[in-house]
Each structure stands twice: as structure tokens, then as C-alpha cells.
Amino acid sequence: MPDVFGRTRDARTIEVVMAAQQFRRPLTVYWDSRERRHLLSATEDGVAAAMAAKDVSLLGYLPPIYPEWLGNRSFLDAHGVRFPYVCGEMARGIATAEMVAAMARAGMLGIFGAAGLDVGAVADAIASVKASLGPDGAWGVNLIHSPDAPGLEETLVDLYLREGVVRVSASAFLSLSPAIIRYMATGLRRDREGRTLRRNRLFAKLSRSEVAEQFMSPPPSALLQELVAARRLTSDEAELASTLPVAEDIVAEADSGGHTDNRPLTVMLPILQDLRDRIATRHEYARTIRIGAAGGLGAPGAVAAAFAAGADFVVTGSVNQASIESALSPRAKELLAAAGMADVAMAPAADMFEMGVKVQVLRKGTMFPQRAARLYEIYRTHDSVEALEPATLAQLENEIFRHRLSEVWEQTTKFFARRDPALLTVAMQNPKVRLALVCRWYLGQSSRWAMMGEEGRQMDFQIWCGPAQGAFNEWVRSSFLEPLANRSVVQIALNLLEGAATFTRAQQLRAMGVAVPSDAFQFTPRPLA
């Protein structure tokens, strides 16, 4: 029988490969000292025969592996899910209500991508998920940090509390805000045994230890007192909050699409795990803080490596954008499906443009990274729209915006009049802020063009993407998951988990000294129930 590289495999190689693939069966490993080789048995008859043979000794027993058990069982219990797997919150509703509902029905957790949407659109999505799932199913909604619009955070938290959204994933936070503390603490109570029960569960997506420490620690007492004084929390809720970490689910976000610090997961995860243990000891927490892994998880080996490094759950993002349920346009999905691992670049972020914050985006097939970088350079070197040189103005209007600057400003004022009138008032008085908002028009429109498949604007598509997309494309090549029509988020998730279990079994065998061929670490995607 030829292997995946066309080589002929002997019976011994086939046996080891099958042992890795049949990871749900228990496996007993023996050493035949006369033949100088390992023996594997997955049946009682095989065990009996091995034990009766001379010169055969027992090396060990491998229990069944189930994808459900790769992570921390407490994650499954806390969120009422079957698998330790989260479909992350791709912004502007790319992670759709349909996607979230599909994940919930499959026993996994999905987070709706609320970032960049107005409150009405988020409310509609919440209503859609609730109508689809009824009272059952685990799901959540994103809350992205908005330092330039704190009122938006408050409004969204009001919506989430009013609509009974009990899971929120906080992303891009640099520090704790009153809104996030209010969400975390609302509804805290004690049961009959005196244990503190959370009504609302908070995920914190981050990549810096100083930010992680804030979310792993109890809320600052000054913030709690302010919320009580403002009647946003009860004194009982504040007292209970002071004994709990802000978030019991931390997501270590490595090199990913969108907002990212490009951190290597193998460096960041152990640092956050050690920090978690020190903080938990200091505050004598009754429950553990779980740390999940995100970023770079585009193939089974990466998912298996995350679990092997101690991740309690995994979060995927980039690989779901080309799924059936994604809100991206067909053309944008085709660009993603053609991406390699190096076809990404960092570009200025629309929501934190003035701060110089960047997001990781698809580079191949679009000029967005270069044009966005040019806009930031213009902003950095000019104090106002009026100070733009004629050549610079012509480049903006003819090459990048393809609109007169007056038209761009008219659209910008209409947008911020709805979204953040206070910021618009500041812009009217501050020419530098006005220049920033003009530049942000392009950054905001470019992601919308990608979602709508705007004709003539493909070279301006902003598609958030990390290297994981390239790894995913390599893995699914010539398989069931290569056609975009087959890429449902559930099939992507199940195949990644099945593949991770295969990798885990193959590594167990190798750790016992078995000569494991390289193709035992191969898992070809297939339709899974």
C-alpha cells in the first residue's frame, strides 16, 4: 500500500499508522526482546497472545483519546459544551449569527463578531441567535475596547445585560474599563453552600502579561466603589466581585489575524500559565482560571501542540473566514483560499489609528496594506487636511479614496453623527483629529468592500488574516475541505479536533519508543458527523 508520498509501506508501518488513526480504541504496547521490536494490540485476543508469548514484556497501556477531552474538562462544564473549541469573534459580523448558532448546535462555542457594527446591528444579531437556538446552546458576543468611544462600550454592555447575553469576549483591551467590570459583576450571588456563582462569563483575549494580570486579578476596589456610587452595581455584587478574577477564561492570542502583537504561542502560553498560578495562589481562588490558545491554529498539528502545551481550550479565527457561514464576499473568500502562510502583512487599524496600532491582514491580491501605511504616514507628517501638498491630495483623491476629499468628509460626518457625536464635535475643533477621521474613512470602507465584494475595489479589500490561513490551505489541499462549498465551520472544527487527536496518539507512541513513521502524523480532512 503506498503512503501519502507514493512510497510502498510495509505491514509494520501500516500497523503504526492505523494505531494513530484509531485513537478512540485503547492500545497496549509491548516489547519483544527476541525480535527487538514493539508490539501493538487493540484487542483482548491480541493482549492475551502477547502475554502468552515468551520474551515479550508489557511497556504500557494507552487509554482511548476523545477530541472532547483534549482540553480542560472544567471548560466543558462551565459553558455546557461538548468540545473545548471556540469559533472566535471576527469583526464587523464576519462571525455571523448563523455561524454562532451552527457552533452551538454542534456542541461548541461561537462568538458573534460585534466589533465595528452599530448597536442596532448587534441587537439584531443577538435576536437572530436567540430565535435560532431558543434557551439552549452556548454562544457569546464580542466587546472590543473603544478608548476613543467609551460611551459605545457602555451602550453595548447595557444591551448585553438587557438581552441576557451571558458570555462576552473582550478583545483589544489595554486596561480595564468600568463597562467591562459592570458586565462581569452584574448578577453575582452566593448559593446555599456559600459558593459565588457568576451569571455572566467573561473571556479576555490578550497577548500581554501586564494586561493579563489585570483580568486575572479582582477588579480594582476604586472602580467597584464608583460603580456602586453610580448605582450601576449593588454593594453585594461589588463585594463578591472583589473576591473573583475579572475573567475566568483567558485567551492567549498569538500571531493572528486582526489585532495582534505577533507573539509566538510557545513563548506566551507558559508565561501566562505561570502568571495565572501565582495570582491564583495570592488571592486563594476557589476555581481555576482557564487559559485558551488562539492564533496560528490552522492545522491539526498546531491544535495538538496547543493542547500539549497545556491550553485549556482553543480558539480559531482566520480559518473560519472562508467558511460557508462567514459574511465575507465570495471573492474575498477566494483570495483567502489562495493564501500562503507568508501572504500576510501588518497594516494600520481603523479603530486605533491615531495610536499607531496595527492589524494583520491578507497581502496577496490586494494593495490595502501599502495604501493604509501611506495614510498613516500622511497623518503622522501633517497637522490638517488643509496642510496636504497638491501631489499628496491628488494621490488621496485619485488613487486611494477615488472620491473628492469633500465627499469623504461628508460621508465621515454622517457616520460619526450616528456612532459617536462627541468625537465629531472634537474633530470640528481640532484639524488633526479631522485628518485622522478622513484617513479612517478608507480603513473602515475597505473592510466593508471585502464583505460586500465591491466591484472595482478588490485591490482595496481589507481582509483580516494570520499565517494560520496558509497552513490551513496547505492541509486541505486535494481533500474534502479544499472546495469552499464544503467549508462549514463545524466541519473545519471537527476535522481540526480529529486531526489533533491523531497527532496526540502518534506522539504518545513515539514517546514510548515506537518507531512512528511521518505519515502517522498526517490527517486528511473528511466529512465528519
For 165-175, what is each residue's pLDDT tens digit?
A: 999 999 989 89
Whether the Cβ atoms of residue 321 and residue 465 lie closer than 8 Å to each other: yes
pLDDT surpassing 60 at residue 6: no
Buried-state track 482-512, b at ≥16 Cβ within 10 A, e below 16: eeeebbbbbbbbbbbbbbbbbbbbbbbbeeb
- pLDDT at 523 > cutoff 90: yes
DSSP state of 217: S
Quote the CA–CA distance of 152 and 91 in Å, as a whole number: 15
> What's the pLDDT at 423?
85
pLDDT in tens, 322-359: 999 999 999 999 999 999 999 999 999 988 899 888 99
- pLDDT reported for residue 330: 97
In a domain, 484, yes or no: no
Domain count, the chain: 3
Is the pLDDT at 267 greater than 80? The verdict is yes
| CATH code for the domain in which residue 212 is found | 3.20.20.70
The 10s digit of each residue's pLDDT in 421-469 is: 888 899 999 999 999 999 999 999 999 999 999 999 999 999 999 999 9
Domain membership flag for residue 113: yes
pLDDT, tens only, 289-298 = 999 999 999 9
Give the tens place of pLDDT for each residue, 149-166.
Answer: 778 899 999 999 999 999
Domain co-membership, 47 together with 118: no
Whether 498 is in a domain gets the answer no
Query: pLDDT tens for residues 479-515?
Result: 999 999 999 999 999 999 999 999 999 999 999 999 9
Tell me: do 430 and 515 sit in the same domain: no
Task: Tell me whether residue 478 is in a domain.
Answer: no
| β-sheet with 37-41: strand ranges across | 37-41, 27-32, 56-62
Q: So what's the pLDDT on residue 50?
A: 67
Q: Summarize pLDDT for 505-522 with one digit per residue, the tens.
A: 999 999 999 999 999 999
pLDDT interval class at 57 (50, 70, 90): confident
As a whole number, mean pLDDT of residues 81-97 equals: 96
* φ/ψ (deg, to 5) at 292: -100, 170
Share of the chain above pLDDT 90, in %: 83
Residues 75 and 137 in one domain: yes
Residue 482 lies inside a defined structural domain of this protein: no
pLDDT at 48 over 80: no
**pLDDT reading at 8 higher than 70:** no
Give a yes or no: residue 493 inside a domain: no
**Domain span including residue 437:** 332-460
Rounded mean pLDDT of 66-71?
A: 97
pLDDT tens column, 113-138? 999 898 999 999 999 999 999 888 89
- pLDDT on residue 147: 75
* Whether this model's pTM surpasses 0.75: yes
- Same domain assignment for residues 98 and 244: yes
Residue 10 has pLDDT above 90, yes or no: no
What pLDDT is stored for residue 149 in this prediction? 73
Residue 279 predicted with pLDDT over 80: yes
Q: Which residue has the cell 490527517?
A: 523
Pair 270, 373 in one domain = no
Shared domain for 395 and 320, answered yes or no, is no
**CA-only gyration radius of the chain, Å:** 26
The answer to whether residue 239 sits within a structural domain is yes
* Domain end (from 327, 350, 367): 327
pLDDT band at 4 (very low <50, low <70, confident <90, very high): very low
- Whole-number average pLDDT of the chain: 93
Specify if 483 maps to a domain.
no
| Cα distance between residue 134 and residue 469, in whole Å | 33
pLDDT of 2 > 60? The answer is no
Mean pLDDT to the nearest integer, 202-225: 97
Name, in order, each residue with C-beta under 8 angstroms of 74's C-beta and a sequence gap of 6 or more: 287, 288, 290, 312
Q: What is the model's pLDDT at position 1? A: 44
Proportion of the chain above pLDDT 70, given as a percent? 98
Residues 322 and 357 in one domain: no
